[in-house]
Chain A
Amino acid sequence: MPGTLRLDFLELLRALSEHEVDFILVGGMAAAVQGAPIMTFDVDVLYSTDAGNLTRLLSAIEDLEGYYRLQPERKLRPQLAHLAAGGHNLLMTRLGPLDLLGSVGNSHDFRDLLPHAMAMDVGEGTNIQVLELEKLIAVKEETAGEKDRASLPILRRTLEELRRK
């Protein structure tokens, strides 16, 4: 990656929030903001595929100068049709890697998981929806790859400690 790489998680989340994108923070960062000592380099978000939201999301991606990081030299920008397809859009932005996910686990989409999300202030009044740790664990267990299997014990123990508090 270029030496000028800049990652700013809060600014990235704030950009999505300011563009009024409907999303839920999932993945390692969702676990970390709930207390799991897990480190990650990207922001994973599950987005709503409603037409209005896709337009707002596209606007946010433009603001963030997002492009597909699979072929970084081509700097391909996502189009509405890509986002509407609801797959995984792995982007690089001027504020760091951003994974836009249409679904997670066994095809859970934004609408399925919104009841399992909670609002959190992640800094400077930036309020976002975060997938609750219990559901995050359940989703990871459904399709756990090697990386997820390694982190699951930490997530489970964090949930236990949270419940003890």
Chain B
Amino acid sequence: MQGMPAADDTSADEPAYSEDGVDLTLIRWMLSMTPAERLQVLQQYVDSVLSIRAWNSQTRLS
């Protein structure tokens, strides 16, 4: 799986944003992966969110 695109990862002929403000670099990054890798990205995202929530809950309790 490739890493996240760098902030300056743009070129003159490939704009970073569409006219309606969508981040095209993220789309290109996702399209560089296989469907299985994209599902892994989704999985890692929810794992991270759930970890943060669990950590916050523990912090509030202690």
Q: Bound complex: CA of A154 vs CA of B30, how far in Å?
A: 12
Could you say which residues of chain B place their CB within 8 Å of the CB of A32?
30, 38-39, 41-42
Tell me the total A-B contact number using a CB cutoff of 8 A: 77
Q: Bound complex: CA of A41 vs CA of B38, how far in Å?
A: 14
Q: Bound complex: CA of A121 vs CA of B29, how far in Å?
A: 19
1/0 per residue B19-46: CB within 8 Å of A?
0111110111111011110111111011
Of A37, A122, A123, the contact of B23 (CB 8 Å cutoff): A37
Flag if B46 contacts A120 (CB, 8 Å): no
Interface size on A, residues (CB 8 A): 30
Residues in A lying within 8 Å of B, measured CB to CB: 3, 5, 7-10, 29, 32-37, 39-41, 96, 120-124, 130, 153-154, 157-158, 161-162, 165
Residues in B lying within 8 Å of A, measured CB to CB: 18, 20-24, 26-31, 33-36, 38-43, 45-47, 50, 54, 57
Question: 7 new A-B pairs (CB below 8 Å) besides A7-B47, A7-B50, A123-B40?
Answer: A7-B43, A32-B30, A32-B42, A39-B46, A124-B36, A157-B20, A161-B27
25 A-B pairs (CB sep. < 8 Å) = A3-B54, A5-B50, A7-B43, A7-B46, A9-B39, A10-B39, A29-B42, A32-B38, A32-B39, A33-B35, A33-B42, A35-B30, A36-B27, A37-B23, A37-B27, A39-B42, A39-B45, A122-B39, A123-B36, A124-B36, A153-B22, A157-B20, A157-B27, A161-B28, A161-B31
